[in-house]
Amino acid sequence: MKEFTKLQLSYLQQYSRNNEKLLFDLKQILDTQSNAISEINDCWKKLCKTEKHTAKMANLSLDNCNGISTYLFNQNTSLNEIYKKSSWYKTTNLASFFGY
């Protein structure tokens, strides 16, 4: 098996650092959005228990909450897929990318 050149090792190290940063950033986003979904659901449960809202307002609020929750859930699903793929690349033998 050939040895890596200094330039190839430099690229490999830079790739690893960039990938680590990407994984960290994605994890932060996933955590933040998961918390947001929980908060929205909690707010909706409280809203349902509040008698001050008319049925019309409650339905409108439900639509808004459901829309936001669905959007965040779908976005989280997409980000989770990216995170899984990035994690896979992180553990893959990168020598193959250099033709070894």
Q: Which of 79, 84, 40 is nearest to 62 (CA)?
A: 40
pLDDT (tens digit, 9 = 90+) per residue, 10-54? 877 787 777 778 778 777 877 787 777 777 777 767 766 665 556
How much of the chain, in percent, has pLDDT values that exceed 70? 46
Task: Quote the mean pLDDT of the chain.
Answer: 68
User: Is residue 80 a contact partner of residue 30, using CB atoms and an 8 Å limit?
Assistant: yes
Helix (H) or strand (E) holding 12: helix 6-49
Predicted TM-score of the model (pTM): 0.43
- Within 10 angstroms of residue 96's Cβ, the number of other Cβ atoms is 8
Domain ranges in the chain? 8-87
